[in-house]
A and B are shown apart, each in its own frame.
Chain A
Amino acid sequence: AQKVTQAQTEISVVEKEDVTLDCVYETRDTTYYLFWYKQPPSGELVFLIRRNSFDEQNEISGRYSWNFQKSTSSFNFTITASQVVDSAVYFCALSRPAYNTDKLIFGTGTRLQVFP
């Protein structure tokens, strides 16, 4: 079965702190994609990153970085020097391209609150 677990329900930090959001996934597929989406208070989910199962290189984009480790089935997301605008709910997701669909399996999300 496919499953995404985000054990952290809510995290609160003070501005400029670094924060890591955890994501653990389960799948029997050898080919799959992992994603992070951000949901600000306005409601729409915003795509942040996609990583395919054959690419374990870590990625950095500005203050955001992602650590993909197949050995532990984890795809963690770190925000460096957090800002108030980072406050949102963050979702990790898994897709199964072998099934010819953009069916994403989402975790329950982690609410991040960044205080000034």
Chain B
Amino acid sequence: ETGVTQTPRHLVMGMTNKKSLKCEQHLGHNAMYWYKQSAKKPLELMFVYNFKEQTENNSVPSRFSPECPNSSHLFLHLHTLQPEDSALYLCASSQDIGEGTGELFFGEGSRLTVL
């Protein structure tokens, strides 16, 4: 069983819907991340949180809204999405961002389809 759990695993939504993706890590890590994986493209870093504080927003459109209530939970709130936002959204965690060691632990992803 993975130490990073993402729900739902699959989500289909219309462009006017509001939904949320949830990520929970059971590893005692302090940093959490959202990545977007689209076909034929490199993984794109979206947001980074360290000790619940957002440390990076990689020019992500405001229709994606992250929330990190504590170091174990991370949400991605979705509203007014576009079809091109259809992708696999991966959550990851790491011990912290202090040393940039890069060892991230990923969840299995939430496959989002926007109709």
Q: Footprint of B on A, CB under 8 Å? A: 4, 33, 35, 37, 42-47, 50, 91, 93, 95-109
Contact = CB atoms under 8 A, between A and B. Distances in A.
Contacts of A105: 42
A105 B41 CA distance: 12
Contacts of A106: 42-43
A109 B88 CA distance: 14
Contacts of B31: 102
Contacts, number: 77
B104 A50 contact: no
A108 B100 contact: no
A33 B4 CA distance: 23
Contact of A100 (B40, B100, B105): B100
Contact of B102 (A43, A46, A93, A100): A93
Given A43-B88, A103-B56, A106-B42, A97 B100 contact: yes
Contact of B104 (A4, A99, A100, A102): A102
Contact of A101 (B56, B106, B111): B56
Interface of B: 2, 4, 31, 33, 40-43, 45, 48, 55-56, 88, 90, 92, 94, 97-109, 111
Nearest to B90: A45
- Which one of B40, B101, B107 has the greatest number of beta carbons of chain A within 10 Å? B101
Contacts of B42: 4, 105-109
Contacts of B103: 35, 47, 50
Nearest to A45: B106
A100 B112 CA distance: 31
Contacts of B111: 43
B104 A45 contact: yes
A100 B76 CA distance: 24
A6 B17 CA distance: 37
A104 B99 CA distance: 13
21 contacts: A37-B106, A43-B108, A44-B106, A44-B109, A47-B104, A47-B105, A91-B43, A97-B99, A98-B100, A100-B100, A101-B97, A102-B48, A102-B94, A102-B97, A102-B100, A102-B101, A102-B102, A105-B42, A106-B43, A107-B42, A109-B42
